[in-house]
Structure 1
Amino acid sequence: MKVHECVSFLLVNQDKQVLLEKRALTKASDPGLVAIPGGHMEADETQLQTLVREIDEELGVQVTSGQYLCSLYHPTSELQLLHYYVVTQWQGTISAHEADSVFWSSIAAAPIDCSADKTALSEYQRLSSAGVI
């Protein structure tokens, strides 16, 4: 089975809330689910290039600070390898360009439907409490 690499991004605000999306029902992968935003890497694109492009396409903002978190497999309509990044600084006003909606949630009570996203949030909490992130 072919692996499709993607970059997902945990936008974390000053109140330690994470930005989540309600995926559009027309999406091929995980339609209608609540998830961490992200998207597919394009050919010859680095993870960081994908991060910058996808945040702009999905939310209309520009990354000013991002840090790699972890990579996890996510079997959906295709096998995805999700590379997660934590973004704590950005410029611009967040708006939903591709999802039905975006909203802030406490990290501990995030209503995420995707198990890989839940694991990534747990990893963020673990590393954050240890002072690594």
Structure 2
Amino acid sequence: MATYEVALVLLVDSSGAVLLQHRDEDVAVSPNQWSLPGGHVEPGESPEEAARRELLEESGLTADELRLLWSGPRPYEVGFPHSVTVHMFSGTTRARQEDVVLGEGRAMVFVPRDELLNRELAVSSALVLSLHLRDT
């Protein structure tokens, strides 16, 4: 079984909307689903460095600050042959939708808080967004 680490970013704008990526249909993980931006932690890179790099690569945005929100195993999903440790960071931004530069995926949009759970979410994103909505 393959093992690796990923870092994801729950980026919140000034209105409370969260940045979500609509993933391509041909990706190996969570195709056609909505996910928080992020990706693999590269060798020699800390999870926070990976989170910042992936956010910039995928959206053109940076976070004002990042804090570790949650870290642990990716939720179980039938047919997913990997053991993944997920590092979930949260941060804020003064950026607006027009500042987003789509670097990966079908779309990258700030989704209003009351619409977050109305999308087909990747399993890790669904877990963390539920925690975020409960605690904020």
Q: TM-score range by the shorter chain?
A: 0.7 to 0.9
The amino acid of 1:48's aligned partner reads E
Question: Contact 2:13/2:95 (CA < 8 Å) preserved in 1?
Answer: no
Matched, 1:98 2:95: no
Indicate the residue corresponding to 1:119 in structure 2: 127
Question: Contact 1:64/1:91 (CA < 8 Å) preserved in 2?
Answer: no
Q: As a proportion of its length, which structure holds more helix? A: 2
Unpaired runs of 5+ in structure 1?
A: 129-133
Identity within the alignment, %: 23
With normalisation by structure 2, the TM-score equals 0.81
- Secondary structure of the equivalent of 1:11? strand
Unpaired runs of 5+ in structure 2?
A: none
Question: Contact 2:59/2:101 (CA < 8 Å) preserved in 1?
Answer: yes
Q: As a proportion of its length, which structure holds more strand? A: 1
Indicate the residue corresponding to 1:80 in structure 2: 84
- Secondary structure of the equivalent of 1:48? helix
* Superposition deviation, residue 89 in structure 1: 2.4
Report the count of equivalent residues. Answer: 128
**RMSD (Å), alpha carbons:** 2.1
